[in-house]
Amino acid sequence: MASVGFIGLGNMGGPMAANLLAAGHAVRCFDLVPDLVAQSVAVGAQEAPSAAAAATGVDVLISMLPASPHVEALYLGEDCILPAIDPSTLVIDSSTISPSSARKVAEAAAARGVAMLDAPVSGGVGGAVAGTLTFIVGGTADALARGRPLLEAMGGNIFHAGDAGAGQVAKICNNMLLAVQMTGTAEALALGVQNGLDPATLSEIMRKSSGGNWPLEVYNPWPGVMDGVPASNDYDGGFLTRLMVKDLGLAMEAALETGAATPMGALARSLYAGLANQGLGDKDFSSIQKLFD
Ligand code: NAD
């Protein structure tokens, strides 16, 4: 069993650390919010007095922070933790951040002889609690082999996307496509209903026809068409609109850096930002359906 440092015990990190503990790993944890540390200690973690203390002398260090600036500050900023990390420690950052930030941090780690993976996740808080997250990993195959047992304790599918930063690229490509599919599905459903069709009947026709897609299969945005999805629960739970806005922003950043054309992604980002500005940032992203009501 490994000794693990865990930094960032929020909605995702808290349950991920709990799953490592349940699998028998020793976890030393740190968060800026003492209550969150206390919650992890209550399920068996050891408290670290600082981020550097969580990072020192462990087999694997995992971070799960809000965004690129937090990750860059932790690993590259003034008083950063890199000098406290032993070269034998594998670092895994599971935050969703820009590919360029991920590469910058991995390069700085490599310069100190520390192997690092970017391993953003898909699956949300439900997946973090259930231990069924999908990890989309960038870094060397050797580093992934070292980290795999820990990732398996927190998730189901583990994909190796490529070198450093590739996990972040794959994650934002997937979420951009998801946003475009969800928006198109909501638009088509509204068009059908406004022309007299029943949303459930239309959903079934499109699901089995050439318009079939993931939202129609398992995440229908029209209230009442599907049981157990956020649309049938006043768009509560699920993947928050504000997190989709964040991921689409990262996709746009990556497109600007490389000159890639992403007209559908750009439109989806504008629509989702508008939705968040209308007070739906903390609702599920399928609430994009409301734009077409
Ligand atoms: P969160 O805001 O709930 O948790 C982040 C935690 O990091 C907070 O507890 C904060 O106090 C802590 N933190 C920030 N800076 C720190 C520092 N320097 N040292 C120690 N702790 C620090 O966010 P979350 O929902 O857990 O998401 C984490 C990451 O996972 C984000 O990048 C998010 O985009 C990604 N993600 C979230 C979801 C989701 O459904 N919540 C799904 C997939 C991916």
Give the tens place of pLDDT for each residue, 57-81: 999 999 999 999 999 999 999 989 9
State mean pLDDT over 106-133: 96
- Given a cut of 90, is residue 100 above it in pLDDT? yes
Does residue 194 share a domain with residue 112?
no
73: CATH: 3.40.50.720
Our answer to whether residue 104 is catalytic in this structure is: no
Q: Best of 7, 19, 30, 32 to mutate for ligand 1, by most ligand atoms within 8 A of CB?
A: 32
Mean per-residue pLDDT of the chain: 97
Q: In whole angstroms, give the CA distance from residue 134 to residue 119.
A: 9
Does residue 147 share a domain with residue 181?
no
Question: Atom of ligand 1 at shortest distance to CA of 9?
Answer: 9
Identify the active-site residue in 171, 208, 246, 283: 171
Last residue of a domain, one of 100, 128, 163: 163
How many angstroms does the Cα of residue 259 sit away from the middle of ligand 1?
Answer: 29
Q: How many domains does the chain have?
A: 2
State mean pLDDT over 183-205: 98
Does residue 251 share a domain with residue 182?
yes
284: CATH: 1.10.1040.10
Last residue of a domain, one of 163, 195, 214: 163
- Measure Cα distances from 289 to 68, 207, 224 in Å: 30, 17, 13
**pLDDT of res. 109:** 98
Does residue 109 share a domain with residue 21?
yes
Widest CA span in the chain: 65
- Measure Cα distances from 288 to 117, 174, 271 in Å: 33, 18, 8
Q: What range defines the domain where residue 186 resides? A: 169-292
Does residue 156 share a domain with residue 213?
no
Question: Atom of ligand 1 at shortest distance to CA of 33?
Answer: 11
Does residue 143 share a domain with residue 27?
yes
Does residue 118 share a domain with residue 24?
yes
**pLDDT of res. 293:** 84
Does residue 201 share a domain with residue 141?
no
Last residue of a domain, one of 117, 147, 163: 163
Give 25's pLDDT tier (boundaries 50, 70, 90).
very high
Does residue 286 share a domain with residue 151?
no
Does residue 97 share a domain with residue 47?
yes
Question: Atom of ligand 1 at shortest distance to CA of 67?
Answer: 32
- Predicted TM-score (pTM) of the model is 0.96
Does residue 155 share a domain with residue 186?
no
Does residue 251 share a domain with residue 130?
no
